Structure 1
Amino acid sequence: MSLVRADFEVGGINVPHYHPRATEVAYVLEGKVYSGFVDTNNKVFAKVIEKGDVMVFPRGVLHFQMNVGDSPAAILGSFDSQNPGSMKLPVALFGSGINEELLEKAFGLKDKEIHKLKKRFGSENED
């Protein structure tokens, strides 16, 4: 088991990501957080959760959070693993070295747009 606290400024986000080795239970300590996940049929399950509310993110499922309140928010994440791992999609897609032509075709973006995303999410910009 492991725990993490995430603090969000107004409008702050936790980018879409997933944990390959753990289910997460997110408990809102303060604020209003738009929180959700995408199932394997690409259906979004999301709602605003507030202080005292809980949301569960099954292992390996893409999920996200955003502070939608007018004051800071905080959540406590509990994992059923000491090493849940975290795959942040923007970094995994545009900061990992995937072939640019493949990314252009996958997302319908121009070369210039791909370069901009790679610069923004490159490995030197990771947490």
Structure 2
Amino acid sequence: MYLPLFVVLTLFVSLYSANAGDYCVADLNLPDGPAGYSCKKPSKVTVDDFVYHGLAAAGNTSNLIKAAVTPAFAAQFPGVNGLGLSIARLDIAAGGVIPMHTHPGGSEILAVIQGQICAGFIDSANDVYFKTLNKGDVMVFPQGLLHFQINAGKSTAIAFVSFSSPSPGLQITDYAFFANGLPTDLIATTTFLPKDVIKKLKGVLGGTN
């Protein structure tokens, strides 16, 4: 028994569409937008799009905050584009800190694999939740809320963090206030901080005005 040609073509298109709809590997040659990257043509997708090796090496913690974040977001790991998840590695040297920050695009879950990390967040009612985490401990940070991580031990701490978005975004509060050209007078008015303190912080973080 032979199927009509249009039935065969319909089945073929359905199977092809189902396969292509399983994922949307990022085409990094095209611009990123609010909805993510455009999809790479299925014929150009390879297994390497779904594998990322960048989290094996420790990040460089020889900086002001003594910490490093190594992301595996859509821009680094095209296979997570459109899947609603991503991952990153945190390396925090002794005395290091990931300053107060937010991820406007996704919630975060942190798993400590080495050392001790004091982590916490502030909710919209200004209630504070923080705890010192040890190896194997996990903590979640709801989307958009201010949160932080501090090395609470005497040796380098390592954690992996996963996000509910392939591009969760990042805004570090200290840099938002003091690492740009926002006028000192405006910062003083909106934060109640003394101007000499603001200028000192601007000097440390590279801000002007």
- Fold shared by both chains (TM-score > 0.5): yes
User: What are the superposed Cα offsets for residues 48-102 of structure 1, whole Å, 9 maximum, x if unpaired?
Assistant: 0111111001110100011111221111010111111100000011123223212
User: What are the superposed Cα offsets for residues 17-51 of structure 1, whole Å, 9 maximum, x if unpaired?
Assistant: 01000111100011111000001111110000111
Shift of 1:104: 1.4
Could you tell me how far apart the structure 1 residues matched to 2:181 and 2:148 are?
A: 24
Per mean C-alpha deviation after superposition, the further-off stretch among 32-41 and 114-123 is 114-123
Match of 1:100 among 177, 181, 184: 184
Could you tell me how far apart the structure 1 residues matched to 2:196 and 2:175 are?
A: 18
Q: Does 1:119 find its partner at 2:119? A: no
Higher relative contact order (CA 8 A, sep 6+): 1
| Residues paired across the two proteins, number | 124
RMSD: 1.6
Partner of 1:77: 161
Q: Does 1:13 find its partner at 2:97? A: yes
Shift of 1:103: 1.0
Partner of 2:75: none
Partner of 2:170: 86
Match of 1:48 among 114, 132, 146: 132
**SS of residue paired to 1:45:** strand
Could you tell me how far apart the structure 1 residues matched to 2:130 and 2:194 are?
A: 31
Could you tell me how far apart the structure 1 residues matched to 2:194 and 2:92 are?
A: 33
Decide which structure has the larger Cα Rg and report it: 2
Shift of 1:111: 2.8
Higher strand share: 1
Could you tell me how far apart the structure 2 residues matched to 1:110 and 1:80 are?
A: 38
Could you tell me how far apart the structure 2 residues matched to 1:46 and 1:96 are?
A: 29
Partner of 1:62: 146
Per mean C-alpha deviation after superposition, the further-off stretch among 50-59 and 103-112 is 103-112
Per mean C-alpha deviation after superposition, the further-off stretch among 34-43 and 107-116 is 107-116
Match of 2:120 among 27, 31, 36: 36
TM-score (norm 2): 0.56
TM-score (norm 1): 0.90
Could you tell me how far apart the structure 2 residues matched to 1:60 and 1:88 are?
A: 12
Gaps of 5+ in 1: none
Gaps of 5+ in 2: 1-84
